[in-house]
A and B are shown apart, each in its own frame.
Chain A
Amino acid sequence: MSLEEKFTAIRKGLLEFLVLKIISANQVYAADILKELNATEFATQEGTLYPLLSKMRREELVDYEWKESEAGPPRKYYELTAKGREALRETHDYWQKISGTVKNLGQK
């Protein structure tokens, strides 16, 4: 089992966190999110991202706004809600804790 396979579940679990992070930077539309993710180990496809975004919207973490685009029909631009920002902060703290643990464990 390659490392990549081993970490499939972890990468998936982190995806929501990363999407929150990307959206927190500025208003983005789905293709922007994908572009940013695909440059990393967290490469993701539309088939995964769209259901995730709609779930996050249902949980009121993100919201979108329609904006005209120069090419084609209007696009949905996502932004964080107050609840989303709060979730991002919490997740971020938790992640800091975990990565701290990973770093410190076994070092004496």
Chain B
Amino acid sequence: MNKVITINLNGVAYQLEEGGYDALRTYLDHAARRLEGNPDKDEIITDIEQAIADKFRALLGAYKTVVSTKEVTGVIAEMGPVEGDVTEEAANGAATAGRASAATDDTGREEASSCAPRRLYKIREGAMLAGVCNGVAAYLNFDVTIVRLLFTLLTFLWGTGVVVYLLMAIIVPEARTPAEKAAASGMAATAQEFIKRARAGYYEGMKSFHDRHARREWKRKFKRDMRGWKYGFHQQMHEQSTQWQQQWAQHPSPIFGPVFLAPLLSILLFLLVVLMMWAIYSLVTVHAVFGLVMPSTMPLWVGILLVVVAYQLVAWPIKSVRFACYYPAPHHHHGGLLGGLVGSLIGLFFLGFGIWMMDRHVPEFHEWLVQLPALLQHLADVVKGWFAQKG
């Protein structure tokens, strides 16, 4: 039994075995890379997809609805490698040798480009001001609220936050096109790109009809197809999510992810939330957190903000590791766990840096840090006592 993936080639859905899907994707990626810089790149890719679709159609029938991996590799072999500039290569003479080395070169770069590049943009959707925080949050994969809080906090340091925000609002470009929006959060814009390409083809086609009637017919057909594609993508998403669920049911413990860690991390996170609640509670009632007395000059809400930020700083690495446990590297996306670890390391670095800065510059914090072990001991004793009482 093989997993099946539905793809959309110029408006028609085809079902491929997973291996075939991977092969086709690699082929199209290679093609796109070879055509880099060619002004007709999009059009050629569309033509190639069309040709592949024609070949698939010839293979399928009423009782055969899935293209097998072997058939896909066969079709790809028939298509042959996509070449950059034909005349240029002919001039180079040693075409075969050149292509062989280019092929190995391409596989080397495959790893690097398998993750879509991420760029810093301003994102207007759901923005409060200019969308800077939104963009930064998407870029760092943070929650937008944390970024906003950080900017607000920075404002207390001689207004740094406001200055930085204004500068970024001016410098950072805004994500306008769908592709830019996708790049802002590091997603590949395949779906949007596809529709964009289809539109380009539509206008191209429009030009060739001189008869008004034919043009109207073309337009109507395009609109119908467009709806079909959108539905197709929707359908595809839905099917993939179903497949994921099935995979979950079949393999409760994926190969890469130490899933047993996930519940532990969840418990840890829950405890952290409880700790934060308790900290806020004690801040409101006795103006102190774990024995650290709030300076009388500091307003209460700043204290609460600090507690929340501290919580997020501690929770973020845990969250990212937990996320990596749940989504251990889907087939074309490498390093899920690794990414989580790197994220958590960065988080821990910031946490350490923050503590170090506080330790150096805030004497109250330093004192509190010094007596922290004793405090924790006390806390543990309290918990132990509570359990003893219960037992």
A58 to B85, CA, bound (A): 12
Structural contact, A12 and B89, CB atoms closer than 8 A? yes
Interface residues on A, range: 20 to 34
Distance (whole angstroms) from the CB of B177 to the closest CB of chain A: 23
A16 to B39, CA, bound (A): 19
Residue from B10, B81, B90, B218 in contact with A13 in the complex, judged by beta carbons closer than 8 Å: B90
Contact with A along B68-90 (1 / 0, CB 8 A): 00000000001111111111011
| CB of B38 within 8 Å of the partner chain | yes
| CB of B31 within 8 Å of the partner chain | yes
A46 to B80, CA, bound (A): 6
Task: Tell me which residues across on chain B come within 8 A of A64, comparing CB atoms.
Answer: 208
Task: Tell me which residues across on chain A come within 8 A of B26, comparing CB atoms.
Answer: none
Majority DSSP secondary structure for residues of A touching B = helix
State which of B44-52, B184-192, B350-358 sits at the interface with chain A: B44-52
| CB of A39 within 8 Å of the partner chain | no
A44 to B83, CA, bound (A): 12
**Given A47-B82, A51-B86, A66-B208 in contact, is the A73-B11 Cβ separation under 8 Å?**
yes
Structural contact, A50 and B54, CB atoms closer than 8 A? no
Structural contact, B96 and A45, CB atoms closer than 8 A? no
Task: Tell me which residues across on chain A come within 8 A of B342, comparing CB atoms.
Answer: none
Which residue of chain A has the shortest Cβ distance to B221 in the bound complex? A74
Task: Tell me which residues across on chain A come within 8 A of B87, comparing CB atoms.
Answer: 13, 16, 55
Residue from B12, B48, B93, B225 in contact with A46 in the complex, judged by beta carbons closer than 8 Å: B48
| CB of A54 within 8 Å of the partner chain | yes
A92 to B77, CA, bound (A): 32
| CB of A52 within 8 Å of the partner chain | yes
A52 to B95, CA, bound (A): 15
Structural contact, A50 and B86, CB atoms closer than 8 A? no
| CB of A48 within 8 Å of the partner chain | yes
Residue from B10, B51, B218, B225 in contact with A50 in the complex, judged by beta carbons closer than 8 Å: B51
A41 to B329, CA, bound (A): 46
A53 to B225, CA, bound (A): 26
* B-facing residues in A54-97 (Cβ within 8 Å): 54-55, 57-58, 64-66, 71-74, 76
Structural contact, B57 and A15, CB atoms closer than 8 A? no
Residue from A16, A47, A74 in contact with B81 in the complex, judged by beta carbons closer than 8 Å: A47
A76 to B95, CA, bound (A): 29
| CB of B182 within 8 Å of the partner chain | no
Structural contact, A12 and B80, CB atoms closer than 8 A? no
Task: Tell me which residues across on chain B come within 8 A of A98, comparing CB atoms.
Answer: none
Residue from A30, A48, A72, A76 in contact with B86 in the complex, judged by beta carbons closer than 8 Å: A48
What are 26 contact pairs spanning A and B, CB under 8 A?
A8-B95, A12-B90, A31-B51, A44-B80, A45-B79, A45-B81, A46-B48, A46-B80, A47-B48, A48-B82, A48-B83, A50-B82, A51-B38, A51-B84, A51-B85, A54-B44, A55-B40, A55-B86, A55-B87, A57-B40, A64-B208, A66-B205, A66-B209, A72-B54, A72-B57, A73-B225
| Additional pairs, 18, CB under 8 Å, beyond known A47-B83, A48-B83 | A12-B89, A13-B87, A16-B86, A30-B47, A30-B51, A45-B79, A46-B48, A47-B48, A50-B47, A50-B48, A51-B82, A51-B84, A52-B86, A54-B43, A57-B40, A64-B208, A66-B205, A66-B208
Residues of chain A having any CB pair with chain B under 8 Å: 5, 8-9, 12-13, 15-16, 30-31, 44-48, 50-55, 57-58, 64-66, 71-74, 76
The 5 closest A-B pairs by CB, nearest first: A45-B80, A12-B90, A47-B80, A54-B40, A47-B82
